[in-house]
Amino acid sequence: MDTPHIPVLLQEVLDSFSSVDSGYFVDCTLGYAGHSSEMLKKYSHIKHIGIDRDDEALEFSKNRLEEFESRSTLYKGTFATVLPTLKETPIMAVLADFGVSSLQLDKKSRGFSFESDTLDMRMDAGAKLSAYEVVNEYSKRELEYIFDTYGEVRSYRKLAAKVVEARSKAPITSAKELSQIAKEVIPAGKIHPATLMFQGIRIEVNSELSEIEGLLDALEAKHTEGEVVSLITFHSLEDRLVKNRFKKWSSQCICEAHAMRCSCGKNNAIGKALVKKPITATKEELRFNPRSRSAKLRSFKFSKTSKI
């Protein structure tokens, strides 16, 4: 089957779950089932749950996973809302491969690409907020916040002012038009001038960072002894959330930093990060899938016992 998306760090993801021999594997970002189909092939004893908020991705994956139908259930929704509903399910493996899929990026009508004639960027085409409202209706201050905090755009003030100036003449209706505005403010460099602005708007439209926090909260609230979580991030804002949460989960001492003496019993770790540094793509993978260049994989195993 032709797939519109090459799964990143595939072998590394499969290896991270090598200790899992029963229960359920939850793929929080099913996409085109690149990771899921290989997980189902390799681990024939596990059951599978796939979550995505994009109908196109779910439809594609439903067909792709047909041969595993008896072991697989798919859910439409966001992972931060679906995962907490799976309370009774014996989950032993969780994967999230954050960000957008290649199909979402490449299909012009979705409005993620610089050349799109629409201004959309919704992963769930039925969601209320799209890039059009953000760009045309948010205040200048709100745009500055998004460009600065979510996009880490250096000249975020200038960029917000330029957007506000442009939309005062006529609404901005396409991603193409928006990237033209970025080109006028941001000099061409290694990446397209609109890259960071688009990242900021996409994060806002899809509540991407609060979704990750919601997922981490759900995992913290409910996990099973031996459960492995593998999370793939694509930029520093995402990676920081994951890194800090894994650090918290593996800390024995939970006393305030300024406490004079430890009073927590130093026995609070709920598991251990499986790798100290995040795993990144090999040179070989970079050659056939350039989109893997910013991917970082971190894995954590929940375990109250000292042996991991």
Ligand X SMILES: C[S@@+](CC[C@H](N)C(=O)[O-])C[C@H]1O[C@@H](n2cnc3c(N)ncnc32)[C@H](O)[C@@H]1O
Q: Which residues form the interface with ligand X (CB under 6 A)?
A: 5, 7, 29, 31-35, 51-54, 57, 78-79, 97, 99, 101, 123, 211
- Strand, coil or helix: what is 97? strand
Residue 123's nearest CA partner among 71, 201, 11 is: 201
Question: Nearest approach, Cβ of 202 to ligand X (angstroms)?
Answer: 10
Question: Nearest approach, Cβ of 13 to ligand X (angstroms)?
Answer: 9
Q: Could you count the other beta carbons within 10 Å of the beta carbon of residue 222?
A: 14
Question: Nearest approach, Cβ of 102 to ligand X (angstroms)?
Answer: 8
In sequence order, which ranges of 187-256 are alpha helices (DSSP H)?
195-205, 208-221, 236-249
The structure tokens listed for 294 are 């910013």
Select 29 or 179, whichever has its Cβ closest to ligand X: 29
Helix axis angle, 175-185 to 156-169, nearest 10° = 130
Select 68 or 162, whichever has its Cβ closest to ligand X: 68
Select 7 or 271, whichever has its Cβ closest to ligand X: 7
Select 181 or 241, whichever has its Cβ closest to ligand X: 241
Question: Nearest approach, Cβ of 121 to ligand X (angstroms)?
Answer: 11
Cα atoms in the 13 Å half-sphere on the side-chain side of 266? 2
Question: Nearest approach, Cβ of 22 to ligand X (angstroms)?
Answer: 23
Select 92 or 121, whichever has its Cβ closest to ligand X: 121
The arrangement of strands across the sheet holding 72-76 comes to: 72-76, 47-52, 24-27, 91-97, 228-233, 296-302, 271-273
